Amino acid sequence: AISSAGGISFDELDDHFMLRKLPGTFAAGEMLDWEAPTGGYLLQASFATGAAAGKGALKWLNL
55 within a domain of the structure (yes/no): yes
H helical segments located in the chain: 42-60
pLDDT surpasses 60 at 1: no
Range of the domain at 32: 10-60
The closest of 42, 44, 48, 58 to 28, measured between CA atoms, is 48
Residues 3-17: what's their mean pLDDT?
87
pLDDT surpasses 70 at 2: no
Buried b (16+ CB within 10 A) or exposed e, 19-41: eeeeeeebbbbebbbbeeeeeee
22 within a domain of the structure (yes/no): yes
1 within a domain of the structure (yes/no): no
> pLDDT tens digits for 21-53?
999 999 998 888 877 666 667 788 889 999 999
pTM value is 0.81
pLDDT surpasses 90 at 6: no
3 within a domain of the structure (yes/no): no
**Number of domains forming the structure of the chain:** 1
